[in-house]
Structure 1
Amino acid sequence: MEIALEVLHRFAGAFLQLLIQPFYYIGILLIVLQYRRQIKLERKLFHTKLHSLVDESLRTLVWGFLSGLGASVVLAFVGIGLKMEVVLLLWALSILLMFVRSRYLCFAYSIGLLGIIQFIVSFLPQALETPGFWGDMLRLVDEVSMPGLLVLVAVVHAVEALLVRGTGARSATPLFMESKRGKVVGGFQLYGFWPVPLFLTVPAADGGMSVSWPTLFDGLQGAGGWTFLAFPLIIGFTEMTWTRLPSQKVRLSGFLLFGYSIAVLIMGLAAWYWAPFTIAASVGSIVLHEAMIRYSLRVEHEGSPMFVHDRRGLMVLDVLPGSPAAELGIVTGERIHKVNGVKVTRKEDLHAALGLQSAFCKLEVINLEGQSKFVQRALFAGEHHMLGVILAPDQQAMYVVDTNQTNLWTVLRGKLTGLSRNGPADM
């Protein structure tokens, strides 16, 4: 009972520490701005929104907090020697990297970069004697336990793999893009960002109880005892897919992320048992992360576009929530073959066929298994004129989006990077 009360007391102190840390709120703000940009893109392309800014933000906030608690339980058995100054340094590096690309906000890059800086500093012992701010920073970097931080990266990416697999497809935004052959095709941009507060067990400067459980590293075995340190971070992913369903894409992404976490865990443990391996592990955490992203892109570029119309009918790219199409059970990837007995192969055909019956519609749809299904429904005044179906684009689509990554400047300004008119006309 005494141990439980001590843990609760220290956790309460760390939670209050989290609430006064600006970086937690900065992370939430950056996530909200990302989702705001996503919704602006939906409005630009489809004149409506498919996601709610409030709902998406609250959902990611809740899942992020719960994931942070789960990861903190696992990390309690690691025993990382970490200072608040290191947390601030990692956040500073991450924000600087985000000015290059949004996805560099991932702590795999800032922690890997910190390991590289530490390796360089090890060859400059005279620099550690520099007085003032920069000398303090170099000494702080030199004292960082990189194996512990690498294990932290591994655990966090395992959590991210679960979040991506479980909720990543919810935030998929349909869009129009150019294929490698110059044709306009449909695709999806998948966003997933979660503010994850970690409560790490770290050495306490003011004394206290010794840990009563075994830890992987000896960062908690000092005479000062232990305490909790609130470490807010952001985990997330950005993906593009035009060759598979969003649910299939997030399964692949989750698999790659989990494999990455295992690889970094092994490298972190190797660096702990053999210190010279630390630089290889630090570089490897960055290189493997980039390789994972590039492999995912290569899979897309080598595949055939999925969201295109053909002689079987009109490809459904997405369905508006609460629309007649959603009530009929039409889903992404299905094809509308016939409407009111009329075969449709163009958007104009669908509109004309729906006009044959003003109060009723009957559809023949080819489902994801290639089988025909028949659905019907009454039509009411004021409902979406296309049943709420977002169709794959034709070559007359007004806008296309390329696969360029955004950076912090475009996020803060809300700029829709890469969105341009289809054709020679200027925006």
Structure 2
Amino acid sequence: MDVAVEIGKKLLSAVVQLITHPFYYVGILFVILQYRRQIMFERKLFSVKLHSIVPETWRAVLWGLVGGLCASVVLAFVGATLQPEALLLLWVISLLLVFVRVRYLCLAYAVGVIGILQTVLIWVPQLQTVEPLKWLVNVLLSVDMPPLLALVAVLHLLEALLVRLQGARSGSPMFYESKRGKIVGGYQLQGFWPVPLFLVVPLQGGGMELPWQPLLGGELWQYGWAVAGFPFMLGFAERTVTRLPQDKVRWSSTLLIAYALLVFLGALAAEWMSVLTIAASLLCIGLHEAMLALSRMDEADRSPYFVHNRKGLMILAVLPDSAAEQLGLKTGEIIHKVNGFPVLSKQDLHFAMRQNSAFCKLEVLNLDGQSKFLQKPLYAGEHHQLGIVLAPDQDALYFAEERPPGIIAYVRRKLVGLISKQPPSHSA
């Protein structure tokens, strides 16, 4: 009973620490701004809104909370923890790295850099005596790298699960320029989750011994412990023009799982032999780069998916609460005939829809290439033409550009917009 009371007190203290931490609310604000920007893109490209800020934000917060609680339990038994000094160092390094590339705002890069710097200080002890660097040297040498590497692994495993479960539903259809200069359909897949973590922290003279023995940390846990609440931000952003959204998130989450497992093995190796810390740190960065390179190669080696063909018109997206959603139309299906008329262009679709303004009969090729027949009466007040977003044709005037690599260039570009041209409405 005393153990349960002690754990309860420590958890309550950590909860208070978390809900008073400003970075948690900064993360929620970031989620709101990202979804606001996403909705602005959707309105500009398609003159419709496919997502809503409030439901998407609440979903991100709730999934982040559930994921954070599950990850905290795993981290408690693994022994992955974070000292306050190391947290400050992580923020500083992350902010410096983001000026190189926006995507470097990731825990993996900052932890890898800390491991490399720590090894350099150990190998070149003369650097430890440089007076202006005294604070930095002391913090770097005090960081216990194996638990920090394990933290990276567990957070990426959590990210993989969140991506697998939620990555596709928050994606936005986009028009992109292909490598051959043609306008094709695609998806900007993204997800952002503010994750509250409750980390068990070893203390010297901090009270009772930890009731269990974590995998990492050794004797550190025998002299007392506390629970600290830390907010983290997990984010995922991928672009695809060659896969369905659900296929892309499965591919990406599989890579993330493999990355997490390999980094965790690196953490175990560094715990077993400290000289392997440099290898584990390089692995932390190198594997992350390799994962991104594999994703780019996968896109480059495949043909664009969201293009029209001789069988009909490709559906890029289905509007929520529309006639198309009620009919059961899905992204990636092909509209072959409407009211008995073959449709190979938007003009064909508009003509076929006008032949019966009160009723609609469709022949659609599903994702397996099999025909299915659908029909539905059309009522006043419904979307004027089913409620689908078609893949673009070469008459499209707007398409989304890729982001520049640097944060300064990104902000400057964002001020004028990331859209090169404006397409006519492709909602049908």
Q: Scaled by the length of structure 1, what TM-score is found?
A: 0.93
Question: Which residue of structure 1 lines up, in the alignment, with residue 57 of structure 2?
Answer: 57
> Alignment length, in residue pairs?
422
Comparing 366-375 and 409-418, the one that deviates more: 409-418
Indicate conservation of the 8 Å contact 1:396/1:422, yes or no.
no
Indicate conservation of the 8 Å contact 2:337/2:362, yes or no.
yes
**2: CA distance between counterparts of 1:406 and 1:175?**
20
Comparing 404-413 and 298-307, the one that deviates more: 404-413
**2: CA distance between counterparts of 1:30 and 1:116?**
30
Which secondary structure state, in structure 2, belongs to the residue aligned with residue 171 of structure 1?
coil
Which secondary structure state, in structure 2, belongs to the residue aligned with residue 229 of structure 1?
strand
Compute the displacement of 1:314 (Å).
0.3
Comparing 219-228 and 360-369, the one that deviates more: 219-228
Compute the displacement of 1:296 (Å).
1.0
CA deviation profile, 1:353-404 (whole Å, cap 9, x unmatched):
1111121111111111111111111112232222110000000112112333
CA deviation profile, 1:205-227 (whole Å, cap 9, x unmatched):
56211111111123663564000
Cα pair distance change 1:363/1:219, threshold 3 Å: same
Compute the displacement of 1:327 (Å).
0.7
Cα pair distance change 1:108/1:417, threshold 3 Å: farther
Question: Which residue of structure 1 lines up, in the alignment, with residue 37 of structure 2?
Answer: 37
Question: Which residue of structure 2 lines up, in the alignment, with residue 391 of structure 1?
Answer: 390
Cα pair distance change 1:352/1:100, threshold 3 Å: farther
Question: Which residue of structure 2 lines up, in the alignment, with residue 195 of structure 1?
Answer: 194
**2: CA distance between counterparts of 1:80 and 1:165?**
24
Indicate conservation of the 8 Å contact 1:197/1:231, yes or no.
yes
Question: Which residue of structure 1 lines up, in the alignment, with residue 360 of structure 2?
Answer: 361
**2: CA distance between counterparts of 1:360 and 1:407?**
52
**2: CA distance between counterparts of 1:306 and 1:69?**
38
Indicate conservation of the 8 Å contact 1:211/1:220, yes or no.
no
Cα pair distance change 1:219/1:195, threshold 3 Å: farther
- Unaligned 5+ segments in structure 1 are none
Runs (4+) off by over 6 Å: none
Question: Which residue of structure 2 lines up, in the alignment, with residue 344 of structure 1?
Answer: 343
Correspondences of 1:189-268 after superposition (within 5 Å): 189-205=188-204, 207-218=206-217, 221=220, 224-268=223-267
Question: Which residue of structure 2 lines up, in the alignment, with residue 19 of structure 1?
Answer: 19
The one-letter code sitting in structure 2 at the alignment partner of 1:155 is V
For the aligned residues, what is the CA RMSD? 2.1
CA deviation profile, 1:295-322 (whole Å, cap 9, x unmatched):
0111111101111001100000001100
Which secondary structure state, in structure 1, belongs to the residue aligned with residue 167 of structure 2?
helix
Which secondary structure state, in structure 1, belongs to the residue aligned with residue 239 of structure 2?
strand
Question: Which residue of structure 2 lines up, in the alignment, with residue 282 of structure 1?
Answer: 281
Which secondary structure state, in structure 1, belongs to the residue aligned with residue 329 of structure 2?
coil
Which secondary structure state, in structure 1, belongs to the residue aligned with residue 34 of structure 2?
helix
**2: CA distance between counterparts of 1:99 and 1:66?**
32
Which secondary structure state, in structure 2, belongs to the residue aligned with residue 76 of structure 1?
helix
Compute the displacement of 1:127 (Å).
3.9
Q: Scaled by the length of structure 2, what TM-score is found?
A: 0.93
Cα pair distance change 1:233/1:405, threshold 3 Å: farther
Indicate conservation of the 8 Å contact 2:210/2:221, yes or no.
no
Which secondary structure state, in structure 1, belongs to the residue aligned with residue 420 of structure 2?
strand
Indicate conservation of the 8 Å contact 2:147/2:217, yes or no.
no
- Unaligned 5+ segments in structure 2 are 424-428
Compute the displacement of 1:417 (Å).
5.6
Comparing 213-222 and 352-361, the one that deviates more: 213-222
Question: Which residue of structure 2 lines up, in the alignment, with residue 93 of structure 1?
Answer: 93
**1: CA distance between counterparts of 2:266 and 2:23?**
28
**2: CA distance between counterparts of 1:308 and 1:179?**
11
**2: CA distance between counterparts of 1:151 and 1:359?**
60
Compute the displacement of 1:73 (Å).
0.5
Question: Which residue of structure 1 lines up, in the alignment, with residue 426 of structure 2?
Answer: none
Indicate conservation of the 8 Å contact 2:210/2:222, yes or no.
no
Does 1:3 find its partner at 2:8? no
Question: Which residue of structure 2 lines up, in the alignment, with residue 177 of structure 1?
Answer: 176
Correspondences of 1:97-116 after superposition (within 5 Å): 97-116=97-116
Cα pair distance change 1:219/1:131, threshold 3 Å: farther
Cα pair distance change 1:5/1:415, threshold 3 Å: farther
Correspondences of 1:365-376 after superposition (within 5 Å): 365-376=364-375
Which secondary structure state, in structure 2, belongs to the residue aligned with residue 401 of structure 1?
coil
**1: CA distance between counterparts of 2:185 and 2:298?**
16
The one-letter code sitting in structure 2 at the alignment partner of 1:341 is G
